[in-house]
Amino acid sequence: MSFEFLAPDAASAFSGAAPAARSPIEWAQRDAGAQFTERAGWRVVADYGELAKEATACRETVGVADRSHLGKVELQGDPGVVAAAVSQLARGAALQLGTATLVDEVWWCPITAGRVLAITPPEATGQLRAELEAAVSEGPFASVVELTAALGSNAVVGPQARETFARVCALDMRPDRFLEGAFAPVSVARTPGMILRERGDQFLHLFGSGYAQYNWTVFVDAAESLGGRAVGDETLRAGKREAAARA
Amino acid sequence: MSERLPPNPRERINRARTINFSFDGKDVEAYDGDTIGSALHASGQKVLSRSFKYHRPRGLLCCAGQCPNCLVDVDGSPGVRACTEPVRAGIKVTHMNAKPSLDFDVMRATDLFGKPFTPPGFYYKTFIRPRRLWPLYEKVLRNAAGLGRLAKRQADREWRTEYRRRRADVLVVGGGVAGMAAALRAAELGADVVLMDDGPELGGAMLAGQDADSAKELAESIRAAGVEVLAPAAALGFFDGLVPAWQGNTLHQVRADRHIAATGSIEQPLIFDGNDLPGVMLCSGAERLASLYGVRPGETAVVATTTDRGLESALALQEAGIEVAGVVDARAGDGSEELLGALAAAGISVHRGTGVVKAFGRKHVRGVVVADLDDEGRPDPASKRGIDCDLVAVSGGTMPATSLLLQAGAKARWDEASGSYLPDGVPSDIRVAGAVAGHEPRNCAAKSGAVAGAEAALSLGLGSEEDRARLQADRASLLRETEGPAPAGQARTQDAGSRNGKCFACLCEDVTTKDIDYAIEEGFDSLELLKRYTTVTMGPCQGRMCQLASIRQMSEDTGASIEEVGLTTARPPWSTVPMGVLAGRPFEPAKRSAVHGRHRELGGNVMWAGDWRRAYDYGDVRAETMAVHEGAGLIDVSTLGKLVVSGPEAGAFLNLLYPNRFDNLKPGRIRYGVLGDDAGRITDDGTICRLDENSFYVTTTSSGADAVESWFSWWLAEWKLDVQLTDVSQGLSAFNLAGPRSREILSGLTELDCSNDSFAYLDGKRANVVGVPCLMLRIGFVGELGYELHCPGPLAEHLWDSLLEAGAAHEIRPFGLEPQRILRLQKMHILVGQDTDAESNPLEAAMPWIVKFEKEEDFIGRWALEAVAERGAENKLIGFTIENGTVPTEGAAVVVDGQPVGLVTSSRFSPKLERSIGMAWVPAALAEDGTTITVSDEGRQISAAVQTAPFYDPDQELLRG
């Protein structure tokens, strides 16, 4: 039931290569000196020309990275149908409100008992959507809606990440209260949003993509006041590799 | 630096490092660690401000940020307390509220000669005749009063402020010994603790005394225990568990599960003639100045007191190197024998049963007149004698700082034994510790804090049985230490001295004891009325220095007990705070289209449209409008609300929401829909495209998207249909390609057959355009052949660029909101909220065809619309034309015989039609083609001809072609 006109990955070639998907704030990133790279059909900010400083920010203060290219697919239906579909695709995972579950690089984020947002690396968006559609194709109706374009997302990373959120959000994000995997729909900078604690000091903030430029400005400004800065995808990937190595 | 004392181990200053700043243009040398107040006092500048009303000279009083006496302007920011503001190199400090200078203030005349004209409420009495002059009086009074001036330029008034939210298990307010002990104990038991204090350094009263080192050790302990210390951070209030605190440019908003109030107590001044002269200081203020900053508060001191606190202070001042000419103790027989012995040993004479009657001097104290007091505290004139001094250190007892507790819902109880109001009925999630609880002695305060900290932590489920047992033991011990009679000297704290001359009860607002007497005589005999009439307790000190004094005086004047007089309502803010801090960082959430950057590059004039930023035009409204008629135009309509409604009962769901049918809409077809409420009133409109058997794509107005989504969700929950709803408004960009050449442009960019036979009016097709997956809606809001292309936002820039590039050969132009408004008006397509209001229904809004009463099922607003149909339309929405080109103002009245009967909702000049067109609500009788109506617009009477069919392409030939 998913509709291709909602899916950036449904782009096709027309007198040349297929058009690349762009972040809703690419024009602002260009102004900030971003260097772009292509990833799974997306133009993604690799860095802002200062990789070392970006890494330092994530390690010592806070870095803010645009991750609008992450795939987001919503499954909605009867709670039993949703639970069964998620269980089938997430190796038996049972969802619990307030907590997201990471299976095979897909975050399963329950918004309500009958509504789940799946967040995936951009390479896997189409496959995940297809698998979800297949999982609910039989039995009671459930809708699978592609939301990659509808939701912008920023990663906020570093020891001052919580302090950055504290400037714009009233959520209790203390480490012992907002555990790894915690997921909460919440107002951020006076706009509707969702926050996922991916690991340690790394958080993912999701919001309506119309607010992408606003949220980017707000977060980078808050981060800079704490000594942080905007960072690119390369820095995040390096951090992920380091975390994996440590683990 | 001439007034510096020899170094002492408690001082905060670094004498090896000097800092320079300016005061009223003169260079001042300070030590690192000085406050502006201590540095100025050390430099010999004893007068720091002029008072609010009488412009009397004022100098340091409390040295703790409690009183109004040292307010100055620092680098353009008025209302800064010099006594607590640290010196920074190069700052420009200026006085406030004095002209032409602090030394010579012409407004001092109000003090010397103005008294008969300035009783309480004088602005309601003296300056009311003749009434026409009140605006002048008001201007003069406002100019004469006030405590500072803001910078004139907006840029000079702006500074970055922001909120910081903090959750905690336990919040401790107050960083004295009790607060620190509480924080330490709670943290030891595993609680996440925040402690806030308004001073720059934890320790409170301990810092200026012999226990300064232990205060510093305790402060280190709590930091080591993981307590987050916010200092200097003044708590502003208590709002249902949220405690905001101002620190620099940050407003901390701390929400904790448990609160501990360790707010201490406030030393009270004494009331006598001249009690506001520079040189009259609180005992604690004089001690702080000497101890923390090494500044000599005076050469020769007289200490006036009603408690043992003054006796202690006299010893401390003498030890610091200040000659104490005598202690004037209002008590005849009370007092600690130990302290009296120490004073005698130090050679300090104590005048028992004596009070200060007057402090004299012009701009600074030169001496005091003292007199013996009778049993009721009245001075005996025959016993008056003078004592030369340049410092009067006063202590009128202490008042527990209960304000935050009262804001939190606690009550205050008058405690005769301690002569103060103590907290009572404290809410269960709040603990009270230290002096504010009446646990004043330092060892007692520390235990009181530890008990409160343990109680708070244990009530959260932290700690062990052993900790509970320890708490029981500590409680018992604390009880023993606080039982029995109050410490000697605490029992009697009434003010000493007479009320002759100018005896100030309220230093902030220049309210004298005579003013209070006068107000009470006038009938303002309740404390709340007295407060409002005289403004006592309403100034920057928020009652710290004056509330107890005014209560006592009212009690004496009215014969009511102090308990009966009661306290005034405690309201935030408890501490002064700049408005900019309360405002916080400005957030202005704005939605932007995925091609917003392109609009900027194309020269779009961007404006607000609901919560979106949109291009109003690209600089040439006429050319943009005509391009749509003659070639092609492209407008970004991504702001439209977009919902995916899916499920087996989706059609039935829409049938119930809209007055027309949707379950019979064929997949791939589009139908217009008007949403209404229970009363049949129009709330939104848009198009609905059926995507497949189970799914519909619903568009809404730009500003109505959130409301429609909520409306749908609400009814879905009510009806419990098998339907799912997803808002994709912000994910999909939408561009309207319109104009006679739009088909030609589009055909070159897609493999879809765009011919009219294959892609007809009101068809919805899904196909890739320049490789971008699109939902293409053949609709025509602007009245020409057109296609609305909906695509994923991340691919929108490519689509936008490609359309403009391909359209260049067809004279395509991007067009903005204003040309769109002209184009849609030509078609009489309504704008909900502009052409409709809270009373408009589709039957009267020229859309009776959309209401399908023949539908079997009910729909929202059916009953109301049936009632309208039965009674007939009273008003109708019509179009009108004006031949002479006059464009009436939107909102102008339609009149009959000079009486308003309707109004113009939209009006524009149409470059295509070359005449003015508009829409208006008129009585149904006037809604006939050719009828002439009169529009009254700002004095002009404009004739217009009614037209009920669209002005442009009334038969829809262009749209369907």
- Residue B790 and residue A5: Cβ atoms within 8 Å? yes
Number of Cα atoms under 13 Å in the Cβ half of residue B206: 28
User: Among all residues of chain B, which has the CA nearest to that of A174?
Assistant: B167
Encoded tokens for B702? 């730009």
Sheet (strand B682-692) strand order? B670-676, B682-692, B695-700, B641-646, B724-727
Is residue B164 within 8 angstroms of chain A, CB to CB?
yes
pLDDT band at B2 (very low <50, low <70, confident <90, very high): low
Burial class of residue B308 in the structure, from the number of CB atoms within 10 Å of its CB (0-12 exposed, 13-18 middle, 19+ buried): buried
pLDDT of B1 > 70? The answer is no
Q: Is the pLDDT of residue B324 over 50?
A: yes
Give the residue-averaged pLDDT of B436-447. Answer: 86
Tens digit of each residue's pLDDT (9 = 90 or more) over B16-51: 999 999 999 999 999 999 999 999 999 999 999 999
Name the closest residue on chain A to residue B694, using Cα atoms: A1
Average the pLDDT over B885-911 and give the result: 96
* B490 phi/psi in degrees, rounded to 5: -90, -15
Whole-number Cα distances in Å, B152 to B77, B149, B155, B800? 12, 9, 9, 46
d(CA B848, CA B851): 6
The 10s digit of each residue's pLDDT in A113-129 is 999 999 999 999 999 99
Mean pLDDT to the nearest integer, B809-817: 97
Tell me which H or E stretch contains B538: none
pLDDT value at residue B876: 97
Nearest-CA distance A245 → chain B (Å): 30
- In the prediction, which pLDDT does B334 show? 80
DSSP state of A23: -
**What is d(CA B330, CA B349) in angstroms, rounded to the nearest whole number?**
14
Q: How many residue pairs bridge chain A and chain B with CB atoms within 8 Å of each other?
A: 177
Amino acid letter, residue B535: T
What are the DSSP calls for B879-917, one per residue? Answer: EEEETT---PPTTPEEEETTEEEEEEEEEEEETTTTEEE
CA distance to partner chain B, nearest, from residue A240 (Å): 25
**Residue B469 CA, distance from chain mean position:** 45
Q: Do B773 and A177 make contact, defined as CB atoms within 8 angstroms?
A: no
Contact indicator for B572, B586 with CB cutoff of 8 Å: no
Q: What is the mean pLDDT of residues B930-946?
A: 95
pLDDT surpasses 70 at B484: no
Q: Percent of chain A having pLDDT more than 70?
A: 99
**Closest by Cβ to A174, choosing from B192, B588, B648:** B192
Q: For B57-67, what is each residue's pLDDT tens digit? A: 999 999 999 99
For chain B, counts of helices (H) and of strands (E): 27, 48
Among residues A70, A46, A79, which one has the least CA distance to residue A196? Answer: A70
- Look at B727 and A150 and tell me if their CB atoms are within 8 Å: yes
A-chain residues within 8 Å CB-CB of B728? 6, 145, 147, 149-150
**What angle, 0 to 180 degrees and rounded to 10, lies between the N-to-C axes of helices A233-246 and A51-60?**
50
Q: Kind and range of the H or E element at B304?
A: strand B300-305
Determine which of B162, B257, B600, B795 to mutate to test the interface with A (most A C-beta atoms within 10 Å). Answer: B795
Q: Which residue of A has its CA nearest to B800?
A: A19
Interchain CB contact of B852 with A (< 8 Å): no
Q: How many CB atoms lie within 10 A of CB B334?
A: 16
At B446 the pLDDT is: 93
- Neighboring chain A residues of B591 at a CB cutoff of 8 Å: 208, 210-211, 214
Start-to-end Cα distance in chain B: 92
Residue A239: pLDDT band by 50, 70, 90 thresholds? confident
Mean predicted confidence (pLDDT) in B582-598: 92
The pLDDT of residue B121: 80
When CB atoms are compared, the residue of A1, A23, A190 closest to B587 is A190
Query: Given a cut of 60, is residue B490 above it in pLDDT?
Result: no
Which stretches of B583-741 are assigned E, i.e. beta strand?
A: 591-592, 605-609, 612-617, 632-636, 641-646, 670-676, 682-692, 695-700, 724-727, 732-738
**Does B794 sit within 8 Å of A148, measured CB to CB?**
yes
Interchain pair A3, B766: CB under 8 A:
yes
Q: Which of residues 740-779 of B touch A (CB under 8 A)?
A: 749, 766, 768-775
Phi–psi pair at A162, nearest 5 degrees: -65, -40
At B238, the amino acid letter reads F
Region B694-719: mean pLDDT is: 96
* pLDDT of B497 strictly over 60: no
CA-based max dimension of chain A: 54
Instruction: Give the HSE-up count for residue A35: Cα atoms under 13 Å, Cβ half-sphere.
Output: 11
DSSP B91-108: -EEE--S-SB-SSSBGGG
Q: How does pLDDT run across A76-112, given as a tens digit for each residue? A: 999 999 999 999 999 999 999 999 999 999 999 999 9
Whole-Å CA distances, B776 to B150, B771, B787, B949:
57, 14, 6, 28
CB B527 within 8 A of CB B568: yes
The DSSP letter of residue B172 is: E
Enumerate residues 6+ apart whose C-beta is below 8 A from B930.
Answer: B945, B946
Strands A202-208 and A191-199: antiparallel
User: What is the distance, to the nearest Å, from the Cα of residue B107 to the centroid of all Cα atoms in its chain?
Assistant: 34
The C-alpha atoms of residue A71 and residue B772 are separated, in whole angstroms, by 17
From the list A141, A172, A190, the residue facing B589 with the nearest CB is A190
- Which residue is associated with the tokens 């409109």? B685
Q: For residues B48 and B28, give the distance between their C-alpha atoms in angstroms, rounded to a whole number.
A: 14
CB contact under 8 A, B731 and A150: yes
In sign, the C-alpha dihedral spanning B375, B376, B377, B378 is negative
CB-CB neighbors (< 8 A) of A129 in chain B: none
User: Which residues in chain A have their CB less than 8 angstroms from residue B592's CB?
Assistant: 24, 210, 212-214
H or E element at residue B285:
helix B283-293
B731: nearest CB among A6, A142, A190: A6
Whether pLDDT at B496 is above 50 = no
Contacts of B370 (CB under 8 A, 6+ apart): B302, B328, B351, B354, B355, B356, B357, B384, B385, B386, B387
Please confirm whether the linkage preceding B485 is cis (ω < 30° from 0). no
- Cα separation, B676 vs B862, whole angstroms: 9
Contacts of B191 in chain A (CB under 8 A): none
Give the pLDDT mean for A11-19: 91
**What pLDDT band is residue B499 in, cutting at 50, 70 and 90?**
low
Query: Is residue B249 less than 8 Å (CB to CB) from chain A?
Result: no
ipTM of the prediction greater than 0.85, yes or no = yes
What confidence score (pLDDT) does residue B112 get? 85
Asked if B732's CB is within 8 angstroms of A6's CB, the reply is yes
pLDDT for the residue numbered B483 = 63
The answer to whether A214 contacts B726, with C-beta atoms less than 8 Å apart, is no
Residue B312: CB partners within 8 Å, gap ≥ 6? B283, B339
Q: Average the pLDDT over B810-828 and give the result.
A: 97
Helices of type H across chain A: 26-31, 51-60, 79-89, 125-135, 161-166, 212-225, 233-246
**Structure-block tokens of residue B725:** 């709803």
Q: Are B249 and B581 in contact (CB under 8 A)?
A: yes
Instruction: In whole angstroms, give the CA distance from residue B100 to residue B107.
Output: 9
Mode of pairing for the β-strands spanning B57-58 and B228-230: unpaired
Kindly list the structural domains of chain B, giving each domain's residue range(s) and its CATH number in brackets, ordered by start. 14-154 (3.10.20.440), 162-266+400-482 (3.50.50.60), 292-395 (3.50.50.60), 494-583 (1.10.10.1100), 621-639+731-840 (3.30.1360.120), 641-728+848-869 (3.30.70.1400), 874-961 (2.40.30.110)
Mean pLDDT of B937-948: 95
Cβ neighbour number for residue B374 with a 10 Å cutoff: 12
Between strands B234-235 and B242-247, the pairing is antiparallel
The answer to whether the beta carbons of residues B445 and B176 sit under 8 Å apart is yes
Which residues in chain A have their CB less than 8 angstroms from residue B594's CB?
22, 24, 209
- Given a cut of 50, whether residue B828 has pLDDT beyond it is yes
pLDDT at B436: 95
Give the mean model confidence (pLDDT) for residues B226-255: 96
Provide the token pair at B287: 């001690």
B606 and chain A in contact, CB less than 8 A:
no
Picking from B902, B942, B947, the residue whose alpha carbon sits closest to that of residue B929 is B947
pLDDT tens digits for B774-799? Answer: 999 999 999 999 999 999 999 999 99
Q: How many residues does chain B have?
A: 961
Per CB-CB distance under 8 Å, the chain A contacts of B612 are 210
Give the containing element (helix H, strand E) for B391.
Answer: strand B391-395
* Of B190, B172, B191, B168, nearest in space to B181 by CA: B172
Residue-wise pLDDT tens digits, B378-429: 889 999 999 999 999 999 989 999 999 999 999 999 988 878 899 999 999 9
Helix B308-320 to helix B283-293 angle, to the nearest 10 degrees? 30
Mean pLDDT in chain B? 93
A108 contacts A183 by C-beta, under 8 angstroms: no
What are the structural domains of chain A? 25-69+151-246 (3.30.1360.120), 71-146 (3.30.70.1400)
Contact call for A147 and B731, based on CB within 8 A = yes
Residue B949 burial by CB count (10 A; 0-12/13-18/19+): exposed, middle or buried? Answer: exposed
Q: Please indicate whether, in this complex, the C-beta atoms of A225 and B253 are within 8 angstroms of each other.
A: no
pLDDT band with cut points at 50, 70 and 90 for residue A2:
low
Task: State residue B500's pLDDT score.
Answer: 57
Searching chain A, which residue's CA lies closest to the CA of residue B167? A172
Q: Give per-residue pLDDT as tens, B531-560.
A: 999 999 999 999 999 999 999 999 989 999
